[in-house]
Copies of this chain bind each other. A is one copy, B any other.
Amino acid sequence: MPVPDVALDRSSPVPLYYQVATRLEQLIDEGELPAGSRLENEIELADRLGVSRPTMRRAIQYLVERGLLVRKRGVGTQVVHPKVRRPVELTSLYDDLAKSGQDPRTEVRSLVSEPLSDHVAGLMGLAPGTPATRIERLRYAAGEPLALMTNIVPADVLELSVEALTDHGLYDLLRAAGRVPRMARQVVGARAATPAEARLLGEPAGTAVLTMTRTAWDAGGQAVEYGSHIYRASRYSFELTLTSA
């Protein structure tokens, strides 16, 4: 399959390889390059687009990593069937809801300063007793309670306030403070809700709820957040896309 010509802007601050990759992705999404079709070889492609082979390879590599293309030595580069292809991302519930038009709302139920417990300190890799803020929030989507969230943030990471948390997700605030979570370890499980939890979530006592605990670190490997959340299983589930090798 011949790849249509691509207009590149060499004066743009956007890297060339990224311009090429984006354009290719667009062509695949639009069906211009149908699933299973083979691209021309790298050299021809690079030639025709007017970039060097390393740049062309980098663009292709980017799409291979994202699962849109498959390469085989001696064979060529093929378009993969256009299934879901976004890898798991580290996003916040608030962002997810806002993006899908669920009109998220947050009720901050409590916000207290307290030192880290041994358990949480261990998970975060910090010293027990480190000053921190503990918040408990109830998240609504489309007017319905969706999740009960307890989070703990070390005091030196971020100064939290009820007002800020009402209008923004915790991850927004962390981003604004320059402490972007870059790695997180999550454990997802299930259990029966306690009577108090069931009441807050508007579910009958003993309902099955989805639980998630998470520890998140920033780029420097510093723990920035610990969270223990429970979700209404009737209204929420985790969706993830995994890739191997």
Among A39-86, those with CB < 8 Å from B are: 67, 70, 78, 80-85
Q: Is the CB of A245 within 8 A of B182?
A: yes
**Chain B residue contacts of A236, Cβ below 8 A:** 189
Q: Is the CB of B80 within 8 A of A190?
A: no
- With the chains together, A87 CA to B90 CA distance in Å? 11
Among A3-17, those with CB < 8 Å from B are: none
Q: Does A162 have its Cβ within 8 Å of any Cβ on chain B?
A: no
Q: Which of B89, B233, B241 contacts A184 (CB 8 A)?
A: B241
Q: Is the CB of A81 within 8 A of B188?
A: no
| Interface size classification for chain A | 35 or more
- With the chains together, A91 CA to B67 CA distance in Å? 17
- With the chains together, A26 CA to B192 CA distance in Å? 43
Q: Is the CB of A242 within 8 A of B184?
A: yes
Q: Is the CB of B206 within 8 A of A206?
A: yes
Q: Is the CB of B187 within 8 A of A237?
A: yes
Q: Does A121 have its Cβ within 8 Å of any Cβ on chain B?
A: no
Q: Is the CB of A244 within 8 A of B70?
A: no
Q: Does A88 have its Cβ within 8 Å of any Cβ on chain B?
A: yes
Given contacts A83-B217, A221-B80, contact A242 B209 (CB under 8 A): no
What's the nearest-Cβ distance from chain B to residue A200, in Å?
17
Given contacts A188-B238, A208-B209, contact A88 B85 (CB under 8 A): no
Across the A-B interface, the 7 shortest Cβ-Cβ residue pairs? A81-B221, A208-B208, A190-B190, A189-B237, A90-B244, A190-B233, A80-B221
Q: List 26 A-B contacts (CB under 8 A).
A: A35-B221, A67-B183, A70-B221, A80-B220, A81-B221, A83-B125, A83-B217, A84-B185, A88-B240, A88-B242, A89-B242, A90-B243, A91-B244, A182-B244, A183-B243, A184-B242, A186-B238, A186-B239, A186-B241, A186-B242, A187-B238, A187-B240, A188-B210, A190-B233, A208-B233, A211-B237
